[in-house]
Structure formats: C-alpha cells, structure tokens
Amino acid sequence: MKTIRFGVIGGGLMGKEFASAAARWLHLNFRDARPEIVAICDVNEDARTWFTQNIPSCTLSTGDYRDLLTSDAIDAIYCAVPHNLHEAIYCDIIRAGKHLMGEKPFGIDKAANDAIVACCAEHPDVLVRSSSEFPFFPGAIAMLKAIEAREFGRIINVHAGFYHSSDLDPGKAINWKRMIDVNGEYGCMGDLGLHVMHIPFRAGWVPTRIAAQLSNIMTTRPDGKGGMVACETWDNGSIHTMVESRDGDFPMTLETKRIAPGEMNTWFLTVEGTQKSMAYSTKTPKTLKVMDYTPGAPQAWQHIDLGYASAYPTVTGGIFEFGFPDSFQQMWCAYLDELVNGKSKMYQSLHCATPQETAHSHAVMTAALANAI
C-alpha cells in the first residue's frame, strides 16, 4: 500500500472530516494507497492544535501555507478555504508540484476559475480535483450507471438540487458566505452549485440556455457584536436551463437553497425519461425510486432499498445504511485511486469532479447572474 503524505490548508469543518476519513482508512477494502496527514496550516492556532493533538503523523503546524509547499515531506494538499482565497492558493499549490484536492467552487468568480484551470493545463502531471461527495451515495451511483447505459430513452426532464436549512434562523450571525468580497456574487450557487451540477455534467448535460430566479430573503443578520449588517449575497437560486441532446432537447432545473424550511443538507436528483425514470434524495438515503415503462403498461414507481452499495468495497455489510462520512471517504478513495493508478486503471469509473467541470459550473452560475428574472 502506497502512502500519500497530505498537508491540510484549512483546519475547519471539512479539514477535520478529511482527518476522520484518513484515520479510519482500514474501513475500506482498498489496498493500493492510503492518505497520511503530516501537516496542517490554519491562521487559527486552536484549529491547528486539534490536528497535532489527534494525529500523531501531523508534525508540521503553521499559519503560512507556503511552508507546506516547500516541504519535501508533502505529496499532496487538501485545501478548504473561503472562495476569495482559491485562485492564489490553488495556483501556488499546483505550481509547487503538489497534487490538489480543493473545495468548490474553484474560484470566487469566472475570472478566478479561468486562472486556476489555465494553471492546471500548464502542469498536467499534477492531479487536481474538486470535492463533491454526493455522487458517491449508492442511489447516485445507480443513477449514473443507468445514464451511462442510456436506459432512460428520451430525457423528458432533469431536476437536481441541494437544500440547506440553517439560514432560516434570522438570529444566526452573519458568516463569510453572505459577504460578496469573500464568497463572491454567486451566493448560494457558488457554495452549493457543483454538488448539484456534478452528475449532470458527468452525463454530458451542459446547458445552452439559462435563466434564473434568485432570492435574497434575509437582507440583514446580526454581526455577532450587538449590531446588524447587510447580507450581500443570494440566499436561494433556481436555475432553469435547456440542454441540447441528439435525442431531443430537454429542460433541466438546478436548485441551490440555503433557506429551505425543514431541510438539512438534502441533495437530490430526478431524471424522467420515456423508458425509465429514477429519483434519489439523501433525505431517504436507502431508497431509490425507479419506474421502468413499457408502452401501454401501468406507470408504477418501485421503491428499492439499496443498503450499503458503495463504489469501493468496505468492511460494512450490505444490509446497513450509508451516510455522508461514507460518501466523503469514498470520494477520497476515488482521488487516491486515480492518483496512483491513473484514470484508465481505476478500480471503478467514478472519478472526482474535474477542473473542467468546475469551469462548466462557473459558466452556468455566471449566466444565471446575468439572466436573473
């Protein structure tokens, strides 16, 4: 088993999630490679202390990410920082020859994303991928296989979305995701959009006509100091598109909502076709809805319990349930699989989101801003 030595830039929620996934790598029946976290960078000393206290291999702790780039003890970087930092840090990582798993959206705007994608092209030996976990849920994998096998017939409609919930609370203090200079003008789209668009793009469904409905629902929030400040970015976005297809054009709706009453990080995808329709949501993570249609026969949905049907085999029995930490670890396994084996020799075909797919997402989000109604 090859050990890939990682540095982590950003010791917050997602950095800790990666640490957890790496610590329980024995959960996977994958023996080609494993990650080892050897360095942490964060401007917050307490965040760094969590890593050095809990991960014996994490011996380099610094507030300057450049210290990771000059270290010969680091092969790859996981970077989870706010959007306004993506362009500079991602490009520095790539130019340093470190493999990169970065958080979406790969740049605060299209210009920043263009610069990152161009840097990737200049350094083809560096593997650069974007985090997007939800396609590794069992239901999403089943839908991708049906898409690849062209089982749907002519596509009638596609509906994909990501519903958050916590921003419904007007007393929630403002964070950087509501600040244009840190999050960018995309608002909720930049934060959630690649999750929604990943599978459609992998299917080749890149829209050509785009309109959007964008909502700023909570216009002010507490500043955490006793006052109120303006919320500058969009809370919710519904992007309405048309996709050109050789079998006939079809509408595709992409929803990103930070205010969705009752939801808790719900990702979903519905594909309706003339021969097959399928629907999956992380709200009911075991259940895949399928309707196979024969002309003249009843139109009846099946509800199928999937169990633990992961892309990479694990020690967990198939009768048990799959959750976000599983999808996150599966995504990381796909990244290491591609890193050590190459895309053509991966254990399975689902690779992580590419820089080109992030470029597609920026094109869609930019068009949504320009065509908001």
Query: Helix, strand, or coil here: 166?
Result: helix
Let me know if 111 is exposed, middle or buried by CB neighbors in 10 A (0-12, 13-18, 19+): exposed
Q: What is the pLDDT of residues 11-43, one digit of tens each?
A: 999 999 999 999 999 999 999 999 999 999 999
* Global pTM value: 0.96
Percent of residues in the chain assigned helix, strand, coil, to nearest 5: 35, 25, 40
Spatial separation of the C-alpha atoms in residues 372 and 185, rounded to whole Å: 13
Tokens of 367: 């068009």
Spatial separation of the C-alpha atoms in residues 277 and 286, rounded to whole Å: 17
Q: What is the pLDDT of residues 93-127, one digit of tens each?
A: 999 999 999 999 999 999 999 999 999 999 999 99
Q: H helices within the chain, ranges in order?
A: 13-23, 45-54, 66-69, 86-95, 110-122, 138-148, 180-183, 188-202, 324-341, 355-370
DSSP state of 224: S
**Quick one: fold of 2-130?**
Rossmann fold (3.40.50)
Q: Let me know if the fold of 2-130 is the same as that of 134-370.
A: no
Spatial separation of the C-alpha atoms in residues 38 and 139, rounded to whole Å: 34
What residue segments make up the domains of the chain, in order of their start?
2-130, 134-370
CB 105 within 8 A of CB 368: no
- Per-residue model confidence as pLDDT tens for the chain (373 residues): 999 999 999 999 999 999 999 999 999 999 999 999 999 999 999 999 999 999 999 999 999 999 999 999 999 999 999 999 999 999 999 999 999 999 999 999 999 999 999 999 999 999 999 999 999 999 999 999 999 999 999 999 999 999 987 789 999 999 999 999 999 999 999 999 999 999 999 999 999 999 999 999 999 999 999 999 999 999 999 999 999 999 999 999 999 999 999 999 999 999 999 999 999 999 999 999 999 999 999 999 999 999 999 999 999 999 999 999 999 999 999 999 999 999 999 999 999 999 999 999 999 999 999 999 8
> What CATH class has 134-370?
alpha beta
Spatial separation of the C-alpha atoms in residues 346 and 229, rounded to whole Å: 49
